[in-house]
Amino acid sequence: MKPNAAVGLLACLVLPFAVLPLPPAAGMEPGKACVVLLHGMGRTSRSMEPMAEALRSAGYRICNVDYPSREYSVQELSRSVVPEALLACRSTGAETVHFVTHSLGGLVVRFYLEKHAIPELGRIVMLSPPNQGSEAADALKDNFLYRWFNGPAGQQLGTGPDGIPARLGPVRVSVGVITGNEHAFFDEWLSEIIPGADDGKVSVRRAQVEGMDDFLVLPYSHPFIMEKEEVISQTLHFLTHGRFRHDRTGTGVEGR
């Protein structure tokens, strides 16, 4: 199945504007914006549905995209998935398009932006992105099961010069990154081979990207970070204000 045909399941909905505690930045009103949600490797749009529901409730139009993350390279996914999502958002009459991505989804958007401008682009929130690659991908790249399950894109997530992250430059748009410093029980062995704090798949250091506007570390794991209430709340805050809230104590929040 070709990527264009597999984008599918784009839910573009408009719900009444929800009053936020602080006024949004100019042009960033939820009622005039569409948010594209891109899931991570081997996941589906269902993994982003808690985030999608919160965004709908806040008044955003939503395009929660199912795409074949295991079947194509990052380049191929970028050329297919992002234009289809933009078309769906534009069809709603949105004035601004934001992105919220998990893991691989962040690289798909970054690769697209290396080649193309999005005139109505607003802000991007990346959740646990391997912006500088992943040591877990380095360790597993020759494993048969890993290669079979993750496909071409899985071979591009390493930290070396041949990986996609090494080919991408600094971000030049408004980007906020949230990553975790806890790992799921089934990722314990991977966590042990990743230097420093990590979420079981990506180190805190390698989640960062040059040019980002804000960075936040929260005590969650890679597979589940996008479902957490606090992460969803911080995502909403960044889309509205261009920054995260750094007013919590004792819960793993870190600056850049």
- The DSSP-derived string for 166-230 is HH-----SEEEEEEES---GGGHHHHHHSSSSBSSSSBHHHH--TT-SEEEEES--TTTGGG-HH
Query: Residue 251 falls within a domain, yes or no?
Result: no
Query: The domain that contains 187 carries what CATH number?
Result: 3.40.50.1820
Q: Check residue 146 and report its DSSP letter.
A: H
| Number of separate domains in the chain | 1
- Residue 36 has phi, psi (to 5 degrees) of -90, 125
Query: Residue 249 falls within a domain, yes or no?
Result: no
Per-residue pLDDT of the chain (256 residues; tens, 9 = 90+): 445 544 443 344 333 333 334 555 555 778 899 999 999 999 999 999 999 999 999 999 999 999 999 999 999 999 999 999 999 999 999 999 999 999 999 999 999 999 999 999 999 999 999 999 999 999 998 899 999 999 999 999 999 999 999 999 999 999 999 999 999 999 999 999 999 999 999 999 999 999 999 999 999 999 999 999 999 999 999 999 999 999 864 344 444 3
Q: Look at phi and psi of residue 47 and say left if phi exceeds 0, alpha if psi is from -120 to 50, else beta.
A: alpha
Query: Residue 53 falls within a domain, yes or no?
Result: yes
Query: Residue 45 falls within a domain, yes or no?
Result: yes
**Which residue range is the domain that position 9 belongs to?**
3-241
Q: What is the largest CA-CA distance in the chain?
A: 51
The two tokens of residue 171 are: 């971000």
Indicate the pairing of strand 121-127 with strand 174-180: parallel
Query: Residue 105 falls within a domain, yes or no?
Result: yes
Query: Residue 253 falls within a domain, yes or no?
Result: no
* pLDDT, tens digit, 9 for 90 and up, residues 190-244: 999 999 999 999 999 999 999 999 999 999 999 999 999 999 999 999 999 999 9
- Residue 59 has phi, psi (to 5 degrees) of 105, 0
The two tokens of residue 133 are: 């690659």
Spatial separation of the C-alpha atoms in residues 200 and 224, rounded to whole Å: 11
User: What SS3 state is found at 48?
Assistant: helix
Query: Residue 152 falls within a domain, yes or no?
Result: yes
Query: Residue 226 falls within a domain, yes or no?
Result: yes
How many C-alpha atoms does 163 have within 13 Å on its Cβ side? 20
